[in-house]
Amino acid sequence: MLAVINFLNPNVLWGLLAVAIPIIIHLFNLRRVKRVEFSNTSLLKRVKEESSAKRKPVELLILISRILGVIFLVLTFARPVYKNKENDLSLQDEVLIYLDNSLSLSVKDNGQQTAFDNAYSLTQDLVNAYPDGTVFRFIENAYANSIATEFTRSTLTDNLTEIQQVGVDRSFQEIANRQTGQGIKGDVYFVSDFQDNTGLSSLQSDTTSNYFLVPVSGSEYSNVYIDSVYLQNTFLSGSVTNLLRIRLRRNDRSTDRVNVKLYLDDRLSGTSQVSFEDNLLANYDFEIPAIDQGMDRIRISIDDPGLAFDNDYYLAINQLDKIRVLEVYQSGTPSYVSSLFEDNELFQFERVNANSLDNQKIEAADFILINQLSSYTNQLTNAISNSIDDGKTVLVVPSRQSTSSELNRLGLRVTGDTRQRVDLEVPDYENPFFEGVFVENSQNLEMPNARVYFRLINEELPYLSFKNGRSFLSKVLSNGSLFFFSSSFDESITSFPNHALFVPVLYKLALGSKANLSNLYYSTDDETIVYPINGQDRSNIYELRRGEVLLIPDQRQEENRLIMEIPKDQILAGHYELVLNNQVVGTLAFNIPKEESNVHTIDFDYLEELSASPSITLLNGDGGQSVREEIRSGIDGIPLWKYALLGALLFLFLEIILIRYL
């Protein structure tokens, strides 16, 4: 496109005929002549000649100033605009505007305006830049209105006044997918802080729409937030130490220390001051009581003077999902396993005799313990094989009478060993299996002993080993989770059942059999969550309740899991009760995505690289020209009337100087 100058009011150019006025004034001097009598006419003649020679060029300058002044004044009202390929925008009649109203726009600029306030103003400018009759579509993070809804300029202006910030973030790919799904083509505006650029690169290949990137930024902001929280052990039990591990993150080094408080059901349980030293990350552990009220309503609070929306973090520890433990025994099998799992809030325990097996009980169990059977029936071997294929955990403890051939029927490849009594080696403390079991990682720990009855050939991973290198407890190389003790639990063969290590090891094996324990917390932008249930009537509907607010998410039940589609446009950070038949069956905790807390400056270099694509334009109002003016200049061209007005005033001032002083 060639550079051209157009006039928005070309009819005003007829006013250029007014240039004739200063010319007429110059040709016909209308000034009144005054007669002055002098006694010496020779002196008057000499003065007149000198004055005429001096005024002729001055009068020409005055004439030129008047002509140019009139020309520029007429051009001012004709509204000239300059347009070339650099500022040409071929705008369309259909417009889609995405306004990012996530919490990351809470940062303030030097004028104490939040980035969201600036985003709102920019969006309003975009709307006003288009003429009446333009069809607008609008979308924001809460999805409060359908993307298919058509707005006029006035109705969209009214709708914008109701938009508030929400704790939901949307990727640009998600917005683009909704746009494509509705078949919307036209001018698409992204008004955002572009904290997450995911999906923007895919816009380069879409040439059916014009994409405009409108960045919104605040000032540099110092912020400290909770990066992650997890339990050292995935369960609570008085038998092992449990810690709530907190990881804090800061986005710069301006804050050295921060106060951290732990609340259980709004009751202060612990407080500490955490130092970052020279790191961006800091860790702190709160010890969690084994049994306490309010464990389903945990809140961690930090005293951070920066952004306030992420200073509280919510957790919920639900002990509702019991592990179904099944012990298969025979007459004469000791009962200490029963005493271990019975009357425990974590487990639903049952024993069945190997001579009267119930396949339904085996299928329902999560953890199956084959306790010292001398032989294995076809029914049992088939049931164990199916359980392993289904992902269940099976633990085999041989008896004194077990043979290699019998054990091999369960998928074990074992051979007899020396039966020598050997002490066990100190556990590998780096193994996650033993995390949280020991208060101190001592190499002088007194360990139990046992006779080495069997040697496992198809071993995948040893958990406990003898000092001679043989394995005592191993995971079997198989498609599922099959574990094997190489010795019987008979007191004459091993001291392991009487050792303090016995309880946490069996608990770990049992608890590891169920991976669908409820999460400590979920994110407000999680679309789907899975929550364990105990097989309630599937015809009943679960509800989420927070105070007076009641939500009924889309849901379905699969086995003992409740799968809910979370309405993330309605979920807020905090605790929600899971309600069934007006009874609270659990608590869910939701938090703002940590990406919202990681406030950083916009990568303008990346946005400029994207704008090299013919379908993407970067609108940056930080250069002095407002976004509205930039849009209008893209439609009509760069307005030049201001410069024409300055020219008219300049030549008017020059005329006054010439008349007054020359």
The enclosing domain of 378 has a CATH number of 3.40.50.880
Nearest alpha-carbon partner for 99 in 80, 116, 79:
116
Q: How far apart are CA 631 and CA 222, in angstroms?
A: 34
Structure tokens at 446: 């007194």
Give the bridge partners for 299, in sequence order: 263, 314
Q: How far apart are CA 375 and CA 352, in angstroms?
A: 15
The enclosing domain of 270 has a CATH number of 2.60.40.10
Range of the domain at 386: 323-511
Which pLDDT tens digit goes with each residue over 11-31? 888 888 888 887 777 777 645
Give the residue-averaged pLDDT of 520-549: 83
Is the pLDDT at 206 greater than 70? The verdict is yes
Give the residue-averaged pLDDT of 591-602: 81
Same-domain pairing of 620 and 477: no
- DSSP SS3 for 137: strand
Same-domain pairing of 242 and 310: yes
- In the predicted model, what is the mean pLDDT of the chain? 81
Give the residue-averaged pLDDT of 417-428: 91
Give the residue-averaged pLDDT of 92-120: 82
Q: How far apart are CA 53 and CA 328, in angstroms?
A: 128
The CA-CA-CA angle for residues 340, 342, 344, to 5°, reads 90
Chain centre distance of CA 574 = 16
pLDDT value at position 2?
54
Is the pLDDT at 429 greater than 70? The verdict is yes
**Largest interatomic CA distance in the chain:** 156
Is residue 648 situated within a structural domain? yes
Least confident of 35-49, 301-315, 321-335, 526-540: 35-49
Is the pLDDT at 97 greater than 70? The verdict is yes
Same-domain pairing of 548 and 630: no
Which amino acid is present at 577?
Answer: E
Same-domain pairing of 398 and 254: no
Q: How far apart are CA 241 and CA 237, in angstroms?
A: 8
Q: Domain tally for the chain? A: 5
The enclosing domain of 544 has a CATH number of 2.60.40
Burial class (CB in 10 A: 0-12, 13-18, 19+), 104: buried
| Residue-by-residue DSSP string for 576-640 | EEEEETTEEEEEEEEE--GGGT------HHHHHHHTTSTTEEE--GGGSS-HHHHHHHHHT-EE-
Phi and psi at 504, nearest 5°, equal -65, -30
Is residue 517 situated within a structural domain? no
pLDDT value at position 274?
92
Is the pLDDT at 549 greater than 60? The verdict is yes
Residue 623's pLDDT band (cuts 50, 70, 90)? very low
For tokens 């921060």, what's the residue?
A: 258
Same-domain pairing of 79 and 99: no
Is residue 399 situated within a structural domain? yes
Same-domain pairing of 253 and 286: yes
Of 511, 535, 556, the one marking the end of a domain is 511
On whether the CB atoms of residues 106 and 114 are closer than 8 A, the answer is yes
- DSSP SS3 for 190: strand
Q: How far apart are CA 113 and CA 310, in angstroms?
A: 19
Which pLDDT tens digit goes with each residue over 316-343? 987 655 788 999 998 878 778 888 888 7
Is residue 279 situated within a structural domain? yes
624 sits in the region (left: phi over 0; alpha: psi -120 to 50; else beta) called left
pLDDT value at position 629?
63
- DSSP SS3 for 412: coil
Which amino acid is present at 632?
Answer: R
Which one is predicted more confidently, 591 or 291? 591
Q: How far apart are CA 144 and CA 153, in angstroms?
A: 18
Which one is predicted more confidently, 546 or 70? 546
pLDDT value at position 96?
92
Nearest alpha-carbon partner for 564 in 550, 578, 574, 575:
578
Is the pLDDT at 371 greater than 60? The verdict is yes
Is residue 540 situated within a structural domain? yes
Same-domain pairing of 281 and 328: no
Which pLDDT tens digit goes with each residue over 383-400? 888 888 887 889 999 998
Is residue 516 situated within a structural domain? no
Torsion of CA 231, 237, 240, 244, to 10 degrees: 20
Same-domain pairing of 238 and 294: yes
pLDDT value at position 466?
93
HEC secondary structure over 33-79: CCCCCCCCHHHHHHHHHHHHHHHHHHHHHHHHHHHHHHHHHHHHHHC
Give the bridge partners for 262, in sequence order: 270, 300
For tokens 């020309």, what's the residue?
A: 71
Residue 516's pLDDT band (cuts 50, 70, 90)? very low
Phi and psi at 313, nearest 5°, equal -130, 135
On whether the CB atoms of residues 324 and 367 are closer than 8 A, the answer is yes
Same-domain pairing of 290 and 379: no
On whether the CB atoms of residues 314 and 577 are closer than 8 A, the answer is no
Q: Which long-range contacts (CB under 8 A, 24 or more apart) does 154-159 make?
A: 156/97, 156/127, 157/124, 157/127, 157/128
pLDDT value at position 533?
78
Of 290, 315, 340, the one marking the end of a domain is 315
On whether the CB atoms of residues 450 and 419 are closer than 8 A, the answer is no
Structure tokens at 452: 């080495």
Side by side, which strands form the sheet with 257-264? 267-275, 257-264, 298-302, 312-315
For tokens 């259980």, what's the residue?
A: 264
264, HSE (Cβ side, Cα atoms, 13 Å): 14
Residue 236's pLDDT band (cuts 50, 70, 90)? low
Q: How far, in Å, are 237, 427, 438 from residue 432 at the CA level?
A: 17, 11, 12
pLDDT value at position 238?
47
Same-domain pairing of 506 and 366: yes
| Residue-by-residue DSSP string for 237-287 | -TTS--EEEEEEEESSSS--EEEEEEEETTEEEEEEEEE-TT-SEEEEEEE
Is the pLDDT at 32 greater than 60? The verdict is no
pLDDT value at position 288?
78
Same-domain pairing of 64 and 103: no
Give the bridge partners for 351, in sequence order: 327
Of 315, 338, 356, the one marking the end of a domain is 315
Nearest alpha-carbon partner for 255 in 234, 275, 240, 285:
275
Q: How far apart are CA 287 and CA 276, in angstroms?
A: 20
CA torsion sign for 262, 264, 266, 269 is: negative
Output the pTM of the full model. 0.62
Give the residue-averaged pLDDT of 479-496: 88
Same-domain pairing of 396 and 481: yes
For tokens 């396949």, what's the residue?
A: 359
Is residue 236 situated within a structural domain? yes
Is residue 197 situated within a structural domain? yes
Share of the chain above pLDDT 90, in %: 20
Give the residue-averaged pLDDT of 556-565: 83
